[in-house]
Structure 1
Amino acid sequence: MINPVLVEVERSGFVESRHRGAAIGIAADGGVTVRAGEPEAVIFPRSANKPMQAVAMLRSGLDLDDELLALAAGSHSGEDFHVEGTEKILAGAGLVAGDLRCPAGWPIDPEVQQEVARVGGGPSRMRMNCSG
């Protein structure tokens, strides 16, 4: 089944883009109120889950300031200040880098990659763009 067009973006009277998808609305009692497409289809939401994971971290009692909350709710490019922020988040939860379950990665910026390599570093979980 091809998912239906859920959104059309119009500019200057012309449809610029169409976005297909699946959606489901659930009432407080658990009943389905509206559905479109195939919401039961298996997907890999990847980074789209990060804001929800950040909310769960907050609700579990982790104290994050604005910068650390932004790091937890999104991807990053593996620069030193991202690694430092990730270390702070982990420390606040009583965890260390070895507790991360993401794969090792290089910084995204080629110049930063070269600098990391120049000083003897390599790919690490802390530099992986999902480590926050």
Structure 2
Amino acid sequence: MSDPIPMVELWRGDLRESVHLGHAVAYHATGGVIESWGDPDAVIYPRSSCKMLQALPMVEAGVPLSSERMALACASHEGASVHVNAVRGWLAELGLSDDDLVCGRERPRDRYLQEALIREGSEPEQVHNQCSGKHVGFLQFHRHLRAKGAYVDPDGSVQKAVRTAFEELTGMNSPGYGIDGCAAPNFATTVTGLARAMAAFAAAEEGQSTRRNAMYSLRQSMMAHPFLVAGQGKTASRFMEAAPGRVAVKPGAEGVYVAMLPERRIGIALKIVDGAGRAADTAMAALLTRFGIFPRDAWAVRVVRDAPILNRAGVQVGVTRTSPGFV
């Protein structure tokens, strides 16, 4: 077991004010681990970074889905009107309603829709939850399987299928699960296991097998609809918009982030041990630079990798940057 390494630092003036430690692995689909930082065998919850794995059994089973709906199934969206309307339309087409979801009500993270709800005196619904697309997918898969009970039951048909796919692609038995913020089980794995799964997605091509067709479709859908996967100003959308067709990325809560690089058949997984999303953004920007997706001066990475810290008057007083010795 190795200790986590410093990955991201915040400097204010001449003082390093904060430092974030983490683990990361870059994995080639046929060559195995290319590089690792910290402890590649650290056991983590992938959180929302693994939504493409959670959607895989549904797509593999032949559930008919548009590219937009596959992207929504992988999304942690901001709850903007385009997200909410798409989820509502999907529910309506299935003859279901907001009450059929169990992800919980969440105020939309999109500022405009949030303010609109306040003006209207309306309460947020479950469709506003950032995981609502994944949950409608679960509902449709639950119906496809003619399953009984709750679709988030770890011992139910939907989540058993998810666990099987998760373990097969990570290459290891999951040591257990925790319940995510949206009420679905989240299966644990190592950082290497998560990177291995992302490499499999990165290398998937059409015509190889039913599973690889499904993996290819999910990856391509994420890259085709980056705004649906996250939203305005979010690093995941920004990275994919800035490198169209070259990378699919997905963050998760508590400082987890994954990437799929199809051209190089590489998967990347990282975990910031203190759970800071700001550090995960910076670390992933550095890794995407290292593996040739962006030049260091590309705007998409510069705004988080060498991000200025401004005071209330708009004057730069510090900087967020990667730690020496990381990448």
What TM-score does the superposition give when structure 2 sets the normalisation length? 0.29
Aligned-residue offset at 1:54: 2.1
Q: Which runs of 4+ in 1 moved over 4 A?
A: 91-95
Higher helix share: 2
Contact map agreement 1:3 1:20 (CA 8 A) in 2 = yes
Q: How many residues align?
A: 111
Contact map agreement 2:107 2:129 (CA 8 A) in 1 = yes
Contact map agreement 2:98 2:125 (CA 8 A) in 1 = no
Higher deviation after alignment, 110-119 or 95-104: 95-104
What TM-score does the superposition give when structure 1 sets the normalisation length? 0.63
Q: In structure 2, how many angstroms separate the alpha carbons of the residues matched to 1:23 and 1:92?
A: 40
Contact map agreement 1:3 1:21 (CA 8 A) in 2 = no
Runs of 5+ consecutive residues of structure 1 not aligned to the other structure? 6-17, 25-32
Aligned-residue offset at 1:116: 1.7
Q: In structure 1, how many angstroms separate the alpha carbons of the residues matched to 2:124 and 2:117?
A: 9
Higher deviation after alignment, 90-99 or 111-120: 90-99
Aligned-residue offset at 1:19: 5.9
Identity of aligned residues (%): 34
Matched letter for residue 120 of structure 2: V
Q: In structure 1, how many angstroms separate the alpha carbons of the residues matched to 2:58 and 2:95?
A: 13
Deviations 1:75-127, CA, capped at 9 Å, x for gaps: 11112221222234445666432232222111112222010222232222110
CA, structure 1 residues 69+95, in 2 after alignment: closer, same or farther (shift >3 Å)? same
Structure of greater relative contact order (alpha carbons < 8 Å, 6+ residues apart):
2
Equivalent residue number for residue 115 of structure 2: 114
Equivalent residue number for residue 87 of structure 1: 88
Runs of 5+ consecutive residues of structure 2 not aligned to the other structure? 7-20, 134-327
Higher deviation after alignment, 89-98 or 47-56: 89-98
**Equivalent residues in 2 for 1:40-59, closer than 5 Å:** 41=43, 43-59=44-60
Aligned-residue offset at 1:22: 6.6
Equivalent residue number for residue 23 of structure 2: 20
Q: In structure 2, how many angstroms separate the alpha carbons of the residues matched to 1:48 and 1:117?
A: 30
